[in-house]
Amino acid sequence: MGKSMWVYGSAACMAMLVLGGCGGGSTNNTPPPPPPTFAIGGTVSGLQGIAVLQNNLGDNLTVSANGNFAFATALSSGSAYGITVKTQPSSPTQTCVVGNATGSVAGAAVTTVTVTCTTNTYGVNGTITGLAGSGLVVQDNGGDDIALFGNVVGFGFAIPIASGATYNVTVKTQPTGPAQTCVVASGSGTIGSALVIVAVTCTTNALVACTTENGTVVTHAADITADETWAGAGTVHLVTAQIAIAVVSLRSAGMRPETLMHLFGA
């Protein structure tokens, strides 16, 4: 009986030695090290403002300069990545496009993502009212001329302007036949994030011609009124100011009955 107990006890002890030791030794439960991770990034070019990038719709990264970039969160080998633009630059407005945007980590840092930004451009257009003659020419920034004729109600310059750049619409040549003066409203400024529309208004110049014999020309800078002092028979009076003509009648203005008057746009 005693020998049997010894054999049984020895067998149990041997089993414990195989499983981890007899007599109460310690077990090593240290976890294995985590797998290595690798940075996800690339290069930015053409950026003039601030953009926000994302990887896998998260891990937001704000970039404000051209050059290299990398997201804060690195990924292990075999992990998928997908780079997108969450927020486009707004001052000036730009469109940034991602190249090599997707893939899987292959045991090394990803540096092949490209973010290329270009500045948006917008048209400069205009409305026109009152144009009756021909020969009107408008231009933007001293060029890109457009010739306009009667009955035209709008126009658009051929060359768009980049966001953040300036525009300046002016009248290069005033219309003739009849002679008019056109002015531009809201003609200059800085392009933002939309097309620009300026307003051109044309008014016909007032012309009062008094013709008899000698053909002398007098140019008046103010309204013709009833107490206008005339220079005598044969004087020609030409009004060029953009003002109302206050002539009530030939008699009240002291003009000769045979005088010929032409009023345009009075």
**Residues 93 and 120: beta-carbon distance below 8 Å:** yes
Are the beta carbons of 108 and 36 closer than 8 angstroms?
A: no
pLDDT tens track for 175-187: 988 889 999 999 9
Give the pLDDT confidence score for residue 159 in this predicted structure: 97
Tokens of 120: 């948006």
Q: What angle do CA 134, 141, 178 make, to 5 degrees?
A: 15
**Per-residue pLDDT reduced to its tens digit, 115-130:** 999 999 999 999 999 9
- State how far the Cα of 122 lies from the Cα of 248, in Å rounded to an integer: 51
The pLDDT of residue 161: 98
Q: Comparing C-alpha atoms, which of 109, 197, 213 is closest to residue 154?
A: 197
pLDDT (tens digit per residue) in 194-232? 999 999 999 998 755 444 334 445 544 344 443 344 444
For the chain, residues with pLDDT lower than 70 are 1-27, 207-266
- Which pLDDT score, from 0 to 100, does residue 142 have? 97
The reported pTM is 0.67
